[in-house]
A and B are shown apart, each in its own frame.
Chain A
Amino acid sequence: MGEKISWESEFATALNRAKAEGKEILLSFHNPG
């Protein structure tokens, strides 16, 4: 609990996980600086 978020970096992977796990995707566009 309270650990760092494990972000996916590939859209296709996120879609596959969303379908498999029945969850919605949070797509975060950021400026990595």
Chain B
Amino acid sequence: MDAVTYPDSKVSDFIETKMIPLQVPYNHQPLSTDFNVQWTPTLVILDAVGKEHHRTVGFLGPEELIPSLLLGVAKVHFDLEQFDPALANLEALLAGYPKSDAAPEAIFLRGVSRYKSTHEAKPLKEAYELLQAQYPGSEWTKRAYPYRLL
């Protein structure tokens, strides 16, 4: 990550603009123990009080890191029931990185966010139908499978 991904100009611009970057050695105490870090690289997305909402373990290239971070930021807002900013980050992910590994989960979470903000079931069914059409082999398509009946 330090050699390939973080020096990428799109990655560094995104992180500097959108996030607060904090980097520590894998054996840092107390953070390594507090966040149960067992391998590197481990990336954890935290809210402003230090609570974890998303993590990845293992190398991510520039084309996968930005969508993963967008998903992480969306999860922070989703968990805090801030659905408008959650949806904005998910839409940015899906518009800019539709072929990324994070895209299927973003479609799933967008459907759930729309449901929770409107209390209408239609977005859940739409999420399943889009997943089935575009990512039929994704685990998120399987997780959305019950929504086909809504």
Contacts and interface: CB of A to CB of B under 8 A. Distances in A.
Interface residues of B, number: 39
A28 B41 contact: yes
Interface string A1-33: 111111111110011011101111111111110
Nearest to A25: B46
Interface string B58-75: 000000000001001100
Contacts of B47: 18, 24-25
Interface stretch (B2-10, B93-101, B107-115, B125-133): B2-10
Interface of B: 1-2, 6-7, 9, 12-13, 15-16, 18-26, 28, 31-32, 35, 37, 40-50, 53, 69, 72-73, 76
